[in-house]
């Protein structure tokens, strides 16, 4: 693994921040100052220190429940709009988070944000048959015929 990637996976830095920290000569690898982030390390045996403090990887899976507000997109990045990942913003936040499933930009509701790909697959894969319930608020009147259609369920293309 590259040293800059290791630093970003500790949860303390983004990859860009890790490169700056390395260039500022605050990082030691097995006692030696390191100046290049692209250097390969063995995360199991090498000792990496930042300002004298031994670093360890933050490999734990994390799970957040987020009540997604309207106007925010269910994506990891977007050039125009705020994303659900932007809403989870605090020191030490893991950089590999993604939403499990999607809600439309104007929809609100529960989203799970995680870095656990296996968990996400088990929730959203059609083969796993995990049912989901949605609530829609409509304006106007709905006929008895429409109520019957909705109550029986329908498959959307």
63-152 in CATH: which number? 3.30.70.580
User: In terms of Cα–Cα distance, which of 22, 26, 25 is closest to 37?
Assistant: 22
The pLDDT assigned to 74 comes to 96
Domain boundaries, given as residue ranges, for the chain: 3-54, 63-152
pLDDT band at 141 (very low <50, low <70, confident <90, very high): very high
Highest mean pLDDT among 10-14, 44-48, 65-69, 118-122: 65-69
* 106 is a catalytic site residue: no
The pLDDT assigned to 107 comes to 93
Q: Would the pLDDT of 94 be above 80?
A: no
Alpha-carbon distance 32 to 43, whole Å?
Answer: 16
Task: Yes or no: say if 17 and 11 are a contact pair by the CB < 8 Å rule.
Answer: no
pTM for the structure as a whole: 0.56
Residue 119: CB partners within 8 Å, gap ≥ 6? 61, 63, 100
The pLDDT assigned to 59 comes to 66
Residue, of 22 and 44, whose pLDDT is higher: 22
Task: Yes or no: say if 38 and 74 are a contact pair by the CB < 8 Å rule.
Answer: no
Q: Which CATH number fits domain 3-54: 3.40.190.10, 3.30.1360.30, 3.20.20.140, 3.10.290.10?
A: 3.10.290.10
78, 81, 104, 116: the catalytic one is 104
Alpha-carbon distance 138 to 150, whole Å?
Answer: 13
């Amino acid at each position: 693994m590259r040293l800059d990637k290791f630093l970003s996976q500790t949860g303390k830095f983004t990859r860009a921040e890790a490169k700056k920290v390395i260039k500022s000569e605050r990082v030691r690898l097995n006692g030696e100052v390191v100046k290049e982030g692209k250097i390969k390390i063995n995360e199991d045996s090498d000792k990496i220190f930042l300002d004298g403090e031994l670093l360890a990887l933050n490999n734990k899976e994390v799970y957040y429940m987020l009540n997604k507000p309207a106007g925010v997109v269910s994506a990891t990045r977007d050039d125009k709009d705020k994303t659900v990942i932007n809403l989870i913003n605090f020191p030490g936040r893991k950089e590999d988070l993604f939403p499990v499933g999607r809600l439309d930009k104007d929809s609100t509701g529960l989203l799970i944000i995680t870095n656990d790909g296996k968990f996400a697959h088990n929730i959203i894969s059609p083969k796993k048959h995990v049912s989901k319930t949605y609530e829609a608020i409509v304006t106007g009147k709905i006929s008895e015929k429409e109520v019957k259609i909705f109550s029986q369920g329908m498959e959307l293309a």
